[in-house]
Amino acid sequence: MDIVRNPDGTLVVPVKQQRQHDTDESADTSAGRNDDAPVAAAPAGNEPETRLLHPGEGGYDEALAEWDLQQNPDREPVVSTATGRQEAMAIVQAVATSPDHEVASAVEAVDDPEASGEALRHVLVGGVHSVEDFAAEAAEAEGGEPLKAHEATQIIGEVLSELDK
């Protein structure tokens, strides 16, 4: 099952089912099976198969990076360049400070959208601390207050969606 990105930035991710192990009492022994011993129950089947992740939740950044990879599985490993990172910071800050949260115009304003996308993918692969560092660096370079990690991650997801159109 693939990860689904909703328009509000939430992600629907598959949940790995936990394996159920037999208890020591229910295992066969060399002396023979004890028919009175309890047997481990079969999985109930009522565990959810998916989970909804919101920006800022544990595992969200990793799931967003995985979602992005699903969009183009043949993509080469991400490489961030200095110019791409600078333009990526400009895009994120422009979207964050835009009164109408306009992503398309912010993406159109950069010279190399592909390099910007690669830089943003590189940030996501680094996880939460990488996103926090990127948000602080973007605020310092572009002005303004640093975004919270979940806000930066949500904008990064929106920008990557725009770039993939």
Residue 23's pLDDT is what? 57
Residue 56's pLDDT is what? 77
Residue 61's pLDDT is what? 82
Task: Please report how many Cα atoms fall inside a 13 Å half-sphere around the Cα of residue 133, on the Cβ side.
Answer: 11
Low-confidence ranges of the chain (pLDDT < 50): 26-34, 37-43
Which tokens is 33 given?
């099976």
Look up residue 99 and give its amino acid.
Answer: P
Strand partners, 70: none
Closest CA to 124 of 108, 142, 143, 75: 75
Which tokens is 118 given?
């690669």
- Burial 116-155, CB ≥16 within 10 A → b, else e: bbbbbbbbbbbebeebbebbeebbeebeeebbebbbbbbb
Residue 41's pLDDT is what? 43
Please enumerate in sequence order all residues whose Cβ is within 8 A of that of 97, keeping only pairs 6 or more positions apart, or say none.
Answer: 144
